[in-house]
Chains A and B, each alone.
Chain A
Amino acid sequence: MATGNGSGWQVRHWTHRFFTITTITTGAGAFALQNFQYAAPTTVDDAIQALSEHGEQAKMLAGGTDIIVQLREGMCEADAVIDIKRIEELMQLEYSSRVGLQLGAGVPCWKIYQHAELSVAYPALVDATRIIGGWQIQSRASVGGNLCNASPAADTIPTLIAHNAVCHIAGPQGRRSLPVEQFCAAPGRNILQPGEILVALTFPPPLPKASSAYERFIPRNEMDIAAAGAASWVQLDDTGERIVKARIALGAVAPTPIFAQEASSWLVGQPVNDETFVEAGEIAKKVASPIDDMRGTREYRVHLVGVLTKRTLAKATHRAQAE
């Protein structure tokens, strides 16, 4: 069991500077957080300013469900932690069927799945927010944090890609926007430049006869990291029998979540049936380049891509037909 509190007491009696010494003498500091400065700016500009002052040593804090654990377990270090939850723009959730969804980077999962209209407009996103951790995690974990943390297995990222969401970034040089599929660079790394923060994600308005779904495979029933995940978005023609447009995205089977371009394009014009979904799954498998680990072998994960692509396409189609 972690001795965080035990060493914490010791640390409290020392100044920040002496922390390392304390750790060595007690030998129990491994799971204590090192001290840092804390700021809770109320504007994007102040956050950028604070971030610029501390450089690489500043970490943003949204729900803290990744960053607090990483700091405690020594996976990263920070001189300053900048809490974004008092910045209004980052905590806003605005939706209209005409404009679409504007989702502040710090909005927690529960706000998304509690929003009745979003389950209809962006079902894949809602599917993902419901299964991130348990209730306690969903009370805090944000979609922006899930994206910025850039885990290959992050559950919301494939859904953001399938929904064609755009990242809005602010930094010392001003603002810029880019599609979500260009945001992650490597496991745990994103394309944010020093001083930049993610402000919001925007989603295009829902289209008629269109819907989406997300599924992941985990070795347990709840509270686990995906061995593979797939998000599918489809738009059907008026008859509901043919696919007009599709976007498939995959998680946990490459260094970053990926857009399955070929499978998505192939689906255009295809009839709605099991053969189509199976074939799309076969094509999607080609872009998967997973690793072997305790959650599954490479082969197993590639197989899962086929299964999850087929299932999410079927579910998305079913939902679109029910509209």
Chain B
Amino acid sequence: MSSPQHTNTPAQKHSSTRTLQHTTALQRGNEERFVTEKIHVSTTINGEAVEFLCDARQSLLELLRDGLSLTGCKEGCNNGNCGACTVMMNHLPVNSCCVLAVEAEDAEIETVEGIAAQGQLHPVQQCFLQGAALQCGICTPGFIVTVKALLEQNPHPTEQEIRFALAGNLCRCTGYDKIIRSVQAAAEILQEAKS
């Protein structure tokens, strides 16, 4: 999370723009002023072709949140333990804090923002709401991304399979039970929708 003293840096103001031309223009501006060696990356995010310039050191999490204003993925631990930053990369859940933004070249990235189709919440999202599977909510986007991936791979997971698949997503509020029940409810809805 950005610490308050940085919220007025020029880059942050500009970062509210999501279009890549803006990001690119901004970075170009920086290049002229500060002679940084930015790397050009072409990738796909939520089905859209996206290009950006970044530093080698930037994590995918940093780039998504600060560069592209996709703030659905959260920074919890920034070291791979909590799963709040989970996004799909080439159809696998990954911790975006442990991926360099430059590694997104040619990859397909899906974030929580891409899950609700045409403004309609996905059954997993609906069930989390209805099942009160969240309190503070910081872990929720990471859970939603992982759960959706789980149910696509294994439509009828047992409770143990659910807990195992979600071992990389930590929640400090709910005690997990409501999350597990919401996953089971979502699995049922998805099943009904199929049949």
Chain A residues with CB under 8 Å of chain B are 1-16, 26, 28, 31-38, 40, 61, 64-65, 68-69, 72-73, 81, 83, 85, 110, 133-137, 139-140, 221-223
Contacts and interface: CB of A to CB of B under 8 A. Distances in A.
21 contacts: A3-B1, A4-B75, A5-B62, A5-B65, A5-B66, A5-B75, A12-B36, A12-B58, A16-B37, A37-B37, A38-B102, A65-B95, A68-B99, A73-B79, A134-B166, A134-B169, A136-B168, A137-B80, A137-B98, A139-B89, A223-B167
B66 A8 contact: yes
A300 B65 CA distance: 45
Given A5-B1, A6-B3, A38-B39, A81 B80 contact: no
B59 interface: yes
Contacts, number: 148
A37 B1 CA distance: 25
A11 B146 CA distance: 31
Contact of A139 (B12, B77, B93): B93
A15 B35 contact: yes
A39 B89 CA distance: 20
B98 A65 contact: yes
Contacts of A14: 34
B54 to A, nearest CB: 9
B173 interface: no
Contacts of B9: 9-10, 13
A275 B9 CA distance: 69
B81 interface: yes
Contacts of A140: 94-95, 98-99
B100 A61 contact: yes
A69 B80 CA distance: 8
A16 B36 contact: yes
A177 B165 CA distance: 37
B60 to A, nearest CB: 10
Interface of B: 1-3, 5-6, 9-12, 30, 34-37, 39, 55-59, 61-62, 65-66, 75-81, 83, 86, 89, 92-95, 97-100, 102-103, 105, 146, 149, 164-169
Nearest to B170: A223
Given A6-B2, A139-B92, A12 B30 contact: yes
A5 B167 contact: no
Given A31-B78, A32-B57, A81-B100, A134 B167 contact: yes
B79 A12 contact: no
B79 A83 contact: no
A6 B78 CA distance: 12
B64 to A, nearest CB: 11
A32 B102 CA distance: 16
A134 B3 contact: no
